[in-house]
Amino acid sequence: MPPNGQYGLERAIPVLNALPRPLYARAESLGAGSWTPRHQHDWVQFSYAISGVLGVHTDEGSFFAPPQWGIWIPAGLEHEVITSMRAEMRSLYVRREDCPWAPGHCRVLEVTPLARELIKRFCALPVEYPEGGSPEQRLVQVLLDQLAGLDEVGFSLPLPRHARLLALCNELIACPDAEVTLGLWAGRLGTSEKTLMRLFTRETGLSFRSWRQRMRLLSSLRVLEEGASVTSAALSCGYDSTSAFIAAFKKMFGFTPGELFCQG
C-alpha cells in the first residue's frame, strides 16, 4: 500500500541477483499514482524525472525530484518510490564498488545537460555492453565521473525520530495549509517553546519555521503537477499571498512554478 494511503498502480521491482555490468539502466513511463512497495537492493540507484515529480520515502525523510533533478539512493537503504501523476523516469543502478565516493545517505541532485545526454545515450546500450576498454565502457566511466560531481539540492524533508514529534510532523504533512504554531505544539507535548525548538532542530537539522516552509513548498509540487493554478497551489500549502509563494518557490527551486514545469 502506498504511504499516502491511496491505491494506485504497483510497479514491479526488477528481480536481479547481481548487476550484469557496473552500470545498469531502466527507462520507464509511469502512470499516475504509480508506487513501489518498500524495498532495498545491494546496489546504488539514481533515478531522475524527465517529466513528472518523483518522490522517494525513507525512515529518515522524504525526497522529491521535479523534472530534470534526480534522487541518489544508497545501497541497502529501504525506500519506496511514488509518482502522483504520469512521469517519465530514467534509473541507473550502480555497483557499490564502482562508486566508492558516494555518501551513505539519500540525496537530491541537479542533473546537468551533459549528464542528461550521457544517461540518454547509456539507456540505448545493450544490458551487457562490451567491456575491455570499449567505447561503451569509456562512456560509462565518463557518466560515473559526471554523477560524482552533481550538486546536491535541498529538495528533501527530514523527519524526526522522536515519536510524538514525528506524529505532529505527519499531521502538518497531511494538512500543509494548517496554521499550527510552535506554541500550540509545545502545549500538546507538555513542554516549553524553547525546549521544543531545540528538540526540533536537533531531530531535523532545521528550525521549525524552515522545515514548515520547505514542507509547504514541496507539497505544492504535486498540486502544480496536476495542473492547478499557481494561486490554487499557494492556497493549498498555506500561503495567503501568491507573490510571496512565487518568491519562496523560486528561492528554493531556482525557477518560478511556471518555469519549473516547462523544463525539459
How many residues are listed for the chain in this entry?
Answer: 264
Question: Residues 192-212: pLDDT tens digits?
Answer: 999 999 999 999 999 999 999
- Please determine, for residue 2, whether its predicted confidence score (pLDDT) is greater than 50: no
Q: Do 97 and 65 meet the contact criterion of CB atoms below 8 Å apart?
A: no
Q: Which domains does the chain possess?
A: 23-153 (2.60.120.280), 159-260 (1.10.10.60)
Q: Do 101 and 109 meet the contact criterion of CB atoms below 8 Å apart?
A: no
Question: Residues 222-260: pLDDT tens digits?
Answer: 888 888 899 999 999 999 999 999 999 999 988 899 888
Q: How far is CA 45 from the centre of its chain?
A: 12
* pTM of the entire predicted model: 0.83
What is the pLDDT at residue 29?
A: 80
Question: Residues 155-183: pLDDT tens digits?
Answer: 899 999 888 899 889 899 989 998 888 88
Spatial neighbors of 188 by CB under 8 A, at least 6 apart, are 168
